[in-house]
Amino acid sequence: MAAARGLSLTVATQRAVTPWPRGRLLAASLGLQARREASSSSPEAGEGQIRLTDSCVQRLLEITEGSEFLRLQVEGGGCSGFQYKFSLDTVINPDDRVFEQGGARVVVDSDSLAFVKGAQVDFSQELIRSSFQVLNNPQAQQGCSCGSSFSIKL
């Protein structure tokens, strides 16, 4: 789909866009459920928000058509325990949060949001790769050198 339009996206982004099956996060997400519920009762301004950089907004406006948006998910795996997954999607589920900036939309499901709240989504274009990336994730303790996986703060 995206590759047919000649887009330069990461392998994770080029996967077929299908609804994400529930329950694919590691069991550690259950421990964050209690923290998320405790913190949601007194949210500060901007807490739980996903910010988009100008390069992310610009790239999304270039590659999305009609009702398409970028879906950000967190799944178990990678060299640090969790990894970011980006895909183009058109279906907004009841538990999704939509973050819009400058006409570009990023959608995050509630389970994944616990792992990325307060982070920033960027689009980076380098000689060897072009990809969406999560930057400045306050929920991450450390990440791998390529920026695609991370471990969480406990």
Task: Give pLDDT, residue 140.
Answer: 83
Q: What is the DSSP string of 42-102?
A: SPPTTTT--EE-HHHHHHHHHH--TT-EEEEEEEE-STTSEEEEEEEE----TTEEEEEET
Domains of the chain: 51-149 (2.60.300.12)
More confident residue, 7 or 80: 80
State pLDDT tens for residues 52-101.
999 999 999 999 999 999 999 999 887 778 898 999 999 999 999 999 99
